[in-house]
């Protein structure tokens, strides 16, 4: 495949197919509907399985079943749909099943609206469902990363036997940009734990129930060790003009792109400003933020919510420097000039 002008939501689907995804189970919801539409078109052409579930609850449990057999499985939704999937995601984490979940955020709470927002950060990064589980969370900010990080999501989901989110806002999902697609993977990954319905895998067990408290504790300790390994090895971030930055801005998704332009304009005004963009929201780049804080005087966190990531930034630097927050909600996205005014106020 070559470069193509394509929506972020559609780049996700082509990335998944190139990564060897065999099954898509989902239910359309704005602003993620194009993912289901594109999957319905392209999965059958390549001999893969697309099935629209009767509900979001059914869709995530179909992913659970498919992943149990060792095939690469995915689903996609937005806020209300992901809320319905939470029980199934917790079950998948407890059963150590690799499932890729595409999450395109819209306004909330409740039905909210279909405009882009980032109010679901806590739901995904902090767990969302029941139990002591975590999922890796990848936050693309362009159509190219919608493709690339989806491919990466399948790899790390298999590596850790764990659900992985590709998590962004409606702007990035709906935006059309050039995407250069990589070559398709030749995948023959043997998963010794999978259930294939034959004699060889008869003794395999995919399970998330441990009636004995000590057995469950042992299982949860194993899961926590896996999450610590993620934090050690899988952090991703982007640095922009941080070498001499006195004021460090932070944001993800569409906000990070607006901030990059804001940083450029602030530099022209003589302000030493930079950008640190977390690409993995879990694992969060705590060490990198702490290192930057040794030189910087303060931080500005910008989010399309009520200040959910800002608490993670404060904790990363042990509350040692001022961390300012600027947020918009309801699908309102700040302009460059708006953010520039805020930078001048702080600086």
How confident is the model over 106-126, as a mean pLDDT? 97
Q: What does the pLDDT read at residue 187?
A: 76
| Three-point CA angle 235, 140, 163, nearest 5° | 65
Q: What structural domains and CATH numbers belong to the chain?
A: 3-233 (3.40.50.970), 237-346 (3.40.50.920)
pLDDT digits (tens, 9 = 90+) for 304-327: 999 999 999 999 999 999 999 999
Which segment of 18-22, 32-36, 99-103, 182-186 scores lowest on mean pLDDT? 182-186
Per-residue burial over 2-39, b = 16 or more CB atoms within 10 Å of its CB, e = otherwise: eebebbbbbbbbbbbbbbbbbbbbbbbbebbbbbbebb
What is residue 215's three-state secondary structure? helix
pLDDT at 1: 59
Please say if the pLDDT value at position 206 is more than 70: yes
Residue-wise pLDDT for 150-168, tens only, equals 999 999 999 999 999 999 9
Q: What percent of the chain has pLDDT over 90?
A: 97
């Amino acid at each position: 495949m070559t470069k193509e002008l394509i929506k972020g939501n559609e780049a996700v689907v082509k990335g998944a197919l190139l990564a060897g995804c065999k099954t898509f189970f989902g239910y359309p919801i704005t602003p993620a509907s194009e993912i289901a539409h594109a999957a319905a078109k392209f999965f059958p052409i390549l001999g893969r399985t697309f099935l629209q579930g009767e509900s979001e609850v059914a869709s995530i449990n179909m992913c659970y079943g498919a992943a149990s057999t060792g095939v690469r499985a995915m689903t996609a939704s937005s806020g209300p749909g992901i809320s319905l999937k939470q029980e199934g995601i917790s079950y998948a984490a407890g059963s150590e099943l690799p499932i890729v979940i595409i999450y395109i955020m819209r306004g909330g709470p409740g039905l909210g609206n279909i405009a882009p927002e980032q109010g679901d950060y806590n739901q995904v990064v902090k767990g969302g469902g029941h139990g002591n589980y975590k999922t890796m969370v990848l936050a693309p900010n362009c159509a190219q990363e919608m493709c690339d990080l989806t491919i990466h999501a399948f790899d790390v989901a298999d590596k850790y036997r764990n659900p992985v989110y590709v998590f962004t806002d409606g702007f990035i999902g709906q935006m059309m940009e050039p995407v250069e697609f990589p070559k398709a993977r030749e995948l023959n990954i043997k998963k010794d734990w999978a259930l294939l319905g034959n004699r060889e895998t008869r003794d395999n067990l995919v399970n998330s129930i441990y009636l004995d408290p000590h057995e469950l504790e042992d299982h949860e300790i194993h899961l926590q060790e896996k999450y610590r390994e993620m934090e050690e090895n899988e952090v991703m971030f982007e640095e922009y003009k941080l070498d001499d930055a006195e004021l460090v801005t932070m944001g993800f998704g569409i906000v990070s792109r607006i901030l990059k332009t804001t940083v450029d304009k602030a530099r022209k005004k003589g302000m030493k400003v930079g950008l640190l963009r977390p690409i993995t929201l879990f694992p969060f780049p705590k060490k990198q933020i702490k290192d930057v804080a040794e030189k910087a005087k303060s931080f500005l966190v910008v989010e399309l919510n009520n200040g959910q990531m800002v608490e993670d930034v404060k904790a990363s630097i042990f509350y040692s420097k001022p961390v300012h927050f600027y947020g918009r909600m309801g699908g309102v996205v700040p302009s460059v000039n708006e953010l520039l005014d805020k930078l001048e106020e702080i600086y």
